[in-house]
Amino acid sequence: MLKIVRELAVDNPWVLKVIMGVIAVTFVITMGWWGIKAPQQSVVVSVNGHDIHAQDYRKAYNRAVEYYREVYKDKFDAEMLEKLKVRDKVLEDLVSRELWLEEAERFGVRVSDQELRDSIVKMNEFHKDGRFDPILYERLLAANRIKVGEFEDSKRKEILIDKVKRVIKDSVSVADEEVNETFPINATGSKDGGTERPAEEMQKLKKFLQFQKQEKAVMAYTASMRAKANVNVNKGLL
């Protein structure tokens, strides 16, 4: 178990977090009224030879259910759950997560213990009186039925995935010409009557366009990995 430092600021209450894009397992929610009853060691899906067991799928599924329950409140019911295709989304998120972890291994990406410590210490959920509180940290994990080692392993994987995605995002660039093509300058030109876009406006539009391109690049990369992956699903356990 990592020994987390005690410094850092902020005093926010416990917050339920759910990652629906590429799933980073953070907090485990106990089984709700739509809990899945599958044998703990049964393989729900195999991704390029890496198995995802029923217990991991069950945790991810119940986190998703809890998330939608919080979002839709009284409107959320079994019918909406089916319409949202939560089971399929959770499965795809788990597959994508496994593929990104595989890419991290292929790229040789690593997360040091210090990086992990720094990431956890910055989490407001574990702050008390403006500082990271290791006692609160362990108590909150225990209250959510998570072992410290399990949480830290999951957090390390989350950082790994973020690092690999950053490699993809950093490969995306945007030229001024591309900005002007996407956002044509007004027929009247700039404020001073010229045809040049103000530098500040150009930077804002460039950042906006770059963000869009980065997200599309990550989605395209994910789709490419998924298309080449050997994925076997045991639908009987979904």
Q: Does residue 79 lie in a domain region?
A: yes
How high is the pLDDT of residue 144?
Answer: 85
Q: Does residue 10 lie in a domain region?
A: no
With beta carbons less than 8 A apart as the criterion, state whether 123 and 89 touch: no
Q: Does residue 29 lie in a domain region?
A: no
H helices present in the chain, as ranges: 54-72, 78-83, 86-107, 113-121, 134-143, 148-170, 176-182, 199-228
Q: Does residue 187 lie in a domain region?
A: no
Share of the chain above pLDDT 90, in %: 62
Query: For residue 82, what is the domain's CATH number?
Result: 1.10.4030.10
| Ranges 6-20, 30-44, 62-76: which has the least confidence | 6-20
Q: Does residue 209 lie in a domain region?
A: no
Give the tens place of pLDDT for each residue, 158-207. Answer: 999 999 999 999 999 999 999 988 988 764 455 445 567 888 999 999 99
How high is the pLDDT of residue 194?
Answer: 56
Calpha distance 93→85 (Å, rounded): 12
How high is the pLDDT of residue 186?
Answer: 67
In 3D space, the residue among 21, 9, 96, 86 whose CA is nearest the CA of residue 52 turns out to be 96
> What is the domain extent for residue 75?
43-171+232-237
- For residue 13, pLDDT over 50 is answered with no
How high is the pLDDT of residue 12?
Answer: 35
Q: What is the count of structural domains for the chain?
A: 1
Q: Does residue 73 lie in a domain region?
A: yes
Calpha distance 152→130 (Å, rounded): 22
- For residue 73, pLDDT over 50 is answered with yes
Give the tens place of pLDDT for each residue, 77-134. Answer: 889 989 999 999 999 999 999 999 999 999 999 999 999 999 999 999 999 999 999 9
- For residue 27, pLDDT over 60 is answered with no
- For residue 140, pLDDT over 90 is answered with yes
In 3D space, the residue among 49, 47, 164, 31 whose CA is nearest the CA of residue 107 turns out to be 164
20 pLDDT band, cuts 50/70/90, is very low
Q: Does residue 129 lie in a domain region?
A: yes
- For residue 2, pLDDT over 80 is answered with no
How high is the pLDDT of residue 41?
Answer: 56
